[in-house]
Copies of this chain bind each other. A is one copy, B any other.
């Protein structure tokens, strides 16, 4: 393994981890294997999807609320397989996510409510990111980091039961072209990742047969550290 690459030990101090993604199934495909292992170690995992994923179908005769309702159920099924403690969906329309102040505030609220110490999200600065929702989710997640720690920002959020000032200490981005500095071997738990991913039946109606592309990506990452499958992250400096 290259010298400065870390593995799961990058998360040694993590007790509560929040993942901010755009669509149901983003978490599973991007970092499902890492999440499963962290949950097994006792980390509390919170999953946030900003959109309902409600244009995620090639069948034009579907109506969007029905698709959304199905995907919320799939999200919970997948979460159960990975050991995720709680899922949140912010209800934004798919394909039209914007990193606006309202989204920032809703994400900051979840930082405060979950008291997460670690964040996973999309790298909003990846110049190869062709999906605007991915960029928007990552941007809003980073933008919420700083204000969530300040008591005069959206103070009503602090009145909710269990809420406190934001206390994120570590931020990791995925879907990035920055050099990854964390690569996690997910070979042993790969069946778990697959199982969670195919819980999204509307997206992968033929199950594992729909996931060759994912295996190929994860395999290519694995080669970096000499294993079959891996997931990678870039930890960024925050202050």
> Which A residues form the contact surface with B (CB < 8 A)?
52, 54-60, 62-69, 72, 91, 93-96, 98, 101-102, 104, 109, 123, 125, 127-128, 130-132, 142-143, 145-147, 150-153, 155-161, 171, 178, 236-239
Contacts and interface: CB of A to CB of B under 8 A. Distances in A.
A159 B158 contact: no
Contacts of A60: 151-152, 155, 158
A41 to B, nearest CB: 27
Contact of A128 (B55, B102, B146, B237): B237
Nearest to A136: B143
28 contacts: A55-B147, A55-B150, A56-B150, A57-B151, A58-B150, A58-B151, A59-B151, A60-B158, A62-B152, A64-B152, A65-B66, A65-B91, A69-B69, A94-B152, A95-B147, A96-B101, A98-B101, A102-B102, A109-B156, A125-B127, A127-B178, A128-B236, A128-B237, A130-B142, A130-B171, A130-B238, A131-B146, A160-B160
Contacts of A95: 146-147, 150, 153
Given A125-B127, A159-B160, A153 B109 contact: no
